[in-house]
Amino acid sequence: MNSAGSLCPAIKAAEIVGDKWVLLILRELLQGTSRYNDFQRALPRISPTVLSKRLKQMEQHGLIVKKTAAGGRSKEYRLTASGREVGPIVHHLSTWGLRWARRQIEDEDLDVASFMWDFHRTLNIAELPDGDNVLNVRFEDLESRSEWWLIASQAKVDLCTEDPGLEIDLYVSTELPVAASVWMGDLTVRQAVDAGHIRLSGSRHLAKSVHRWFPQSRYSDVRPERFASTN
């Protein structure tokens, strides 16, 4: 029996993909995340129990399949044709939310671990020098999880929560809301640096080219709108 008492297919679709965790897991899958541990790193506020339950539900609904990874030592979750077709829906929901609900996003919605996961995978590595570039990012407004390391090359970016013991090429000191504002496109990195909200120390080349490699959301060009007046 339809729980909503309706034959509307939109209602059934909402029952399958309308849960916030399902949408976030779909977003991660669409951006290439496939392993359980990486889902946990990308979504630090989801409990292991809820994550396992949502993945199982998504598998039952035909959105994903669980496969053995190369080497046979771990499992991966991959989108099916049905799951891939949800991609444009997730994209349009993200665009709509940033345009019309952006002002309702509160400071408590900003999680440093989730932010740094997005930060590290949107680093513009094409603008970095060849070889490893080691960045130390410090959030001076946080008491815990305030220091992060990125090891970036032309091939990949590794995110570390502990000092990897490598020579630091550039220190980036700021506050989490400032970094998020730049990432979201509300503030340019040049504006933040010129105002002293982002402080750079180390490689002159990396500091001078920060506006080219500093990460930005794929939705950074979406500007918020105000609700139309009903008066």
CA distance 74 to 114: 23
CA distance 128 to 130: 7
CB of 127 closer than 8 Å to CB of 213: yes
What's the rounded mean pLDDT across residues 172-183?
96
CB of 171 closer than 8 Å to CB of 191: no
CB of 39 closer than 8 Å to CB of 51: yes
Max CA-CA distance within the chain?
65
Give the chain's domains with CATH numbers.
Answer: 9-103 (1.10.10.10), 107-213 (3.30.1050.10)
What's the rounded mean pLDDT across residues 58-76?
90
What's the rounded mean pLDDT across residues 44-72?
93
Q: What's the pLDDT band for 9 if we cut at 50, 70, 90? A: confident
Q: What's the pLDDT band for 180 if we cut at 50, 70, 90? A: very high
Q: What percent of the chain has pLDDT above 90?
A: 76
* Residue tagged 């080349």 (tokens): 205
pTM higher than 0.85 = no
Is a pLDDT exceeding 70 seen at residue 203?
Answer: yes
Q: What's the pLDDT band for 101 if we cut at 50, 70, 90? A: confident
CA distance 70 to 134: 29
Is a pLDDT exceeding 70 seen at residue 4?
Answer: no
CA distance 9 to 44: 32
